[in-house]
Amino acid sequence: MAYEYITTETQDGVAIITLNRPKALNALCAGLIAELGQALQSFDADAGIGCILITGSEKAFAAGADIKEMTDKTYQDVEAEDFITGDWEVLSKVRTPTIAAVSGFALGGGCEIAMMADMIVASDTAKFGQPEITIGTIPGSGGTQRLTRAVGKSLAMYMCLTGEFIDAETALRSGLVAKVVPTAELMEESLRIAKKIAGMSRPVARVCKEAVNVALETTLTEGVRFERRVFHATFAFDDRKEGMEAFAGKRKPEWNHR
């Protein structure tokens, strides 16, 4: 598939989507978002893919929604097209585990897309921010919600109300990212994690992801109840039996992804 704003490749069960609009620091124009949605849906439907890795360039993961494309839109326009919905939200809905490998700027919609991934691995140069207030608007793709859940109220308020960026170490300390690595090692380490996930039983990884996500959307009692039922349900998978037999037999499991 030939794309204009992204590139894609696969490696050992991992799909890599690279945002590729360097002149605009990967600003998320409609064309880029449509291609991202399309690539995500097709990899999510591919039984050979066990993890999807999204990255940008060394200078920018993505500098946000395309401001120039938004400037002349009216309320009627954005309401009618339900702007920042549809393809923008595909990443939050795919069932395959996802990783955002972030170097440089992850701002506005860029930070929001990164936060839709299941985890963020950051380079030590990464900068996260929700600067929408500086251009007279507010985050529109989950920034006020996912950021607050990730880092807590005070830091989220600081970022959303001042528009100031936080660095990779602050992002790590506050729980926004899973890991920080030197820039030169970002892809190697992100791919190592992605390949490890892709090496698990795919249906088990999918339900594991689903259970973790439920934690953000329900009470502890309901969440634990959901987890227990899903845990019980894993006993219906061939791979659950294979995993435990392999442990007892001191060998590597051979998943059949069923």
> Torsion angle, CA of 65/71/77/81, rounded to 10 degrees?
-10
37 binds ligand CAA (CB under 6 A): no
Is 112 known to be catalytic? yes
Q: At its nearest, how many Å lie between ligand CAA and the CB of residue 6?
A: 16
Q: How far apart are CA 140 and CA 131, in angstroms?
A: 11
Considering only 37, 50, 56, 143, the residue that binds ligand CAA (CB under 6 A) is 143
Is 211 known to be catalytic? no
Is 65 known to be catalytic? yes
Question: Which one of the spans 33-41, 136-144, 226-234, 241-249 is the region binding ligand CAA (CB under 6 A)?
Answer: 136-144
> Torsion angle, CA of 232/235/240/241, rounded to 10 degrees?
140
Per-residue contact string for residues 193-232; x = within reach of ligand CAA by CB under 6 A: ----------------------------------------
Q: How far apart are CA 87 and CA 91, in angstroms?
A: 8
Catalytic residue among 24, 27, 63, 65: 65
1, 52, 65, 92, 191 from 70: Cα distances, Å: 28, 29, 8, 23, 34
Q: At its nearest, how many Å lie between ligand CAA and the CB of residue 204?
A: 33
Considering only 37, 140, 203, 253, the residue that binds ligand CAA (CB under 6 A) is 140
Q: At its nearest, how many Å lie between ligand CAA and the CB of residue 153?
A: 19
Catalytic residue among 132, 171, 194, 205: 132
Is 117 known to be catalytic? no
Q: Which is nearer to ligand CAA, 52 or 63 (CB)?
A: 63
Catalytic residue among 56, 109, 110, 140: 109
Q: At its nearest, how many Å lie between ligand CAA and the CB of residue 175?
A: 21
Per-residue contact string for residues 58-87; x = within reach of ligand CAA by CB under 6 A: -----xxxxxx---------------x---
Question: Catalytic residue numbers?
Answer: 65, 109, 112, 132
**Where on the chain is the footprint of ligand CAA (CB under 6 A)?**
24-25, 27, 63-68, 84, 105, 107-109, 112, 131-132, 135, 139-141, 143
